[in-house]
Chains A and B, each alone.
Chain A
Amino acid sequence: MSSRTPNLRIALIGCGQIADAHLQEIRKIDCAELVAVCDVHQDLADQAAARFGVPRADSDLSAMLAEAKPDVVHVTTPAHTHCELATRLLVSGVHVYVEKPLTVDFSEAESLLETVTRTGKSLCLGHDQLFDPIWLRCRELVDAGVIGEVSHVESVLGYPLSGQFGRQVTGNPDHWVRRLPGGLFQNTISHPLYRITEYMQDTQPRVDAHWYAAGTATFPTEMVAHLRGKTVTGSLFFSTRIQPQRISRVYGPKGGLEVDFDAQTIRVIRQSRLPGAFGKIEMPWRHWREGASNLRHNLWRFLKSDIHYFAGMRTLFELYYRSILDGSSPPIAYDEMLRVTRVMDTMFRHCRVRTGAKRLAALSGASPRLSDRKANSQSEVDDLDEVISETEQVS
């Protein structure tokens, strides 16, 4: 952006893990000026301010708003605080960027978007991986018709709990992540899910989801979900038992694209053109050439110093700030925010019902498989509501 672009005054609330990425990326944007950070713990606000050269650190949001007078506030607090904080910020007259997940449920999301309409301020949601360079490249290939019309999207998220954050979540039953209606998944599945919903535009796809606790875990840690829209299906696999990974596969009639966010590579999935044994030679050859092409591409990006974990986040910030300055629509459509929140709600409800139905069957001495089958056969959301109300009545 040119130096004549007016500066936007940016503040941030919630100086935890992801705040570092926000502050680091905001600092790279010419039209953005970081003016304040805020956290319930003054110590946390102070460290963020010191490390990222932010002039003001507060533990009182009202004081920050009054003194720093930001144009935009990034909300990087835990999910259960998003709705209340974002609403308060919009009402106070600032634009808001809120980290995913938007809110803890659909009704909160609706009320938040009503506030957006009422205040005339804009809202952006942190679906940043939609702007990751590798996803943008995948989109280009899809748009160029390489795989034909998209028919299925698969997302895999490997999220071992052995890291610092995972240990905190596992070790503390009161950790905010554990108290979310969708537990661990509410905090983590937005990214793999919106990579599916980008190509599945249905407002209410059919959902069949299941979660369970792996090993000695005392809360659900694994999730498998199947989504069915009018023309596109999706599958989501979340596991704490596989290595960290963020992979999506987008399929169409002419083939598929495997996008690896961590490796920043794309692989085309397509049948061999040669018959029988020749195909077994052609395929590894093709993989080898694809490998070489990915290597060249990433090497070139490295030389241009263009490999950044949070590149998608920066692009999204830039687009959002530009939309504020231009008065145009924000980069993530409000409908999209509602759609994803609704699908998440349905997934969690489905999982809870299935777990509940199992527990119910176990309690009544009936075969759990029976009740499982019931939930399975009624994969439609509406039908599922019956199961939910039944379960709720009994419990």
Chain B
Amino acid sequence: MSVLVTGATGFLGRRLVRLLREDGVDVCCLVRPSSDVEPLRRTVGNDLWNGVDVRAAELSNEEACREAMTGCSVVYHVAAGLGGSTSTLFLSSVVPTRTVMRAAADANLQRFVLVSSLGVYGTSTMRAGDLLDEQSPIDPYPHLRDPYTYSKVMQERAAREVSKETGLPLVIVRPGVIIGPGRGVLSARVGLQLGPLMVRMGGTQTLPYTYVDNCASAIRQAGLADGVEGEVFNLIDDDLPTAKGLLRMCKCAGEKVTSVWVPRQLIQPMAGTYDWYHRWSRGQLPGVLTPYRTASIWKPLRYTNQKAKDRLRWQPDVSFDEAFRRSLNGVEADHLGNRGRI
């Protein structure tokens, strides 16, 4: 069996390729002409590298995508922009998704796995303590969120549109914040990182995290498990910590974290004041902290991964404690530092 993976040179993509190879699946990696393939080769290892075919092309090149897909049955579309302006993110995530999917439909592929994000849910309208699962609504006002989340919502929307148009079977996975060696464990879900200072927002919120190897194994399953076409899966690990608990773990592990705390009750008024100033000053300070965004990101919710466990026959094998240890001790350099995305 052969599959195609985009974004194979990335943090998640290269683990996915390795797991697929471990299963004996041949993998065609569609990388950019500018991609650095070395980290992928190192992750996959010499023994398994034989079944990896690396093709270089821009994802906007439909013809090249189609050619690379010849003989493949599944596409894992992992590539996406993780930072930059909204237009940059749309150009690296939304627009290429349409091209890659059209190519996949033309090449008659059996399944298209889209790596989306847990951030796409409209959590601002949910109540504290609510359960977030695959039935929860998608954010109705994604343009009010941060540029990355907006691009992921629209990437999913584009994927659904093309799937409907072409009949290409689509499976969507929505990982939480992916942690792992080189990425660290403190993300925007804990609070705002202002230089060396972590401003912890609230603290009782459970952090929807997933360890990179656990996440990659669920994604592999999304391409291989029977009868999951048209389904959506939230990918998060078991035994997740709270923001406060995680900071405590960091400090116990000897990490130097300087943090200040903003109580949950103050978050909304603070965001409201900042937003008011942003508007009053006609944008003298950027409109990054809005009540809508804060209500979406720092709300204490409950999470479940039951559907992924049941339908994908998946288990997050690496426990959170182990994931934490590996993430802190990992040496793998990564350009995103500890700003893990969700």
Residues of A within 8 A of B (CB): 15-17, 19-20, 24, 28, 41, 43-44, 46-48, 50-51, 164-165, 168, 170-174, 302, 305-308
Contact = CB atoms under 8 A, between A and B. Distances in A.
Query: Which of B32, B87, B90, B95 has the most chain A CB atoms inside 10 A of its CB?
Result: B87
B282 A305 contact: yes
A43 B150 CA distance: 12
A47 B85 contact: no
A51 B86 CA distance: 10
A290 B186 CA distance: 42
Contact of B86 (A24, A47, A306): A47
6 contacts: A41-B91, A43-B154, A44-B95, A47-B143, A165-B84, A170-B34
Interface in B148-179: 150, 154, 158
Contacts of A46: 154
Interface in B132-155: 143, 150, 154
Contacts of B34: 170-172
A20 B150 contact: no
B32 A171 contact: yes
A15 B33 contact: no
Interface in B75-119: 83-88, 90-91, 94-95, 98
A51 B88 contact: no
B63 to A, nearest CB: 14
Contact of B33 (A50, A173, A306): A173
A229 B264 CA distance: 64
Contact of B280 (A43, A44, A302, A305): A305
* Central interface residue in A15, A24, A168, by most chain B CB within 10 Å: A168
A269 to B, nearest CB: 30
9 closest A-B pairs by beta carbon, nearest first, are A171-B34, A305-B281, A164-B84, A50-B143, A305-B284, A43-B94, A16-B87, A51-B143, A41-B95
Given A47-B86, A171-B33, A171-B34, 11 more contacts: A17-B87, A19-B87, A41-B95, A43-B158, A44-B95, A47-B87, A48-B87, A168-B88, A172-B34, A306-B284, A308-B282
A75 to B, nearest CB: 16
A294 B111 CA distance: 62
A47 B90 contact: yes
Which of B33, B58, B98, B283 has most chain A Cβ within 10 Å?
A: B283
B66 to A, nearest CB: 19
A17 B88 CA distance: 7
Nearest to B97: A43
A44 B83 contact: no
Interface string B277-306: 000111110000000000000000000000
A383 B114 CA distance: 59
A22 to B, nearest CB: 12
Nearest to B93: A43
Contacts of B91: 16, 41, 44
A48 B284 CA distance: 20
B150 A24 contact: no
A44 B87 contact: yes
B28 to A, nearest CB: 21
Nearest to B61: A174
A196 to B, nearest CB: 29
A59 to B, nearest CB: 11
Contact of A172 (B58, B158, B280): B58
Nearest to B286: A309
Contact of A20 (B58, B86, B95, B143): B86
A44 B90 CA distance: 7
Nearest to B158: A43
B282 A20 contact: no
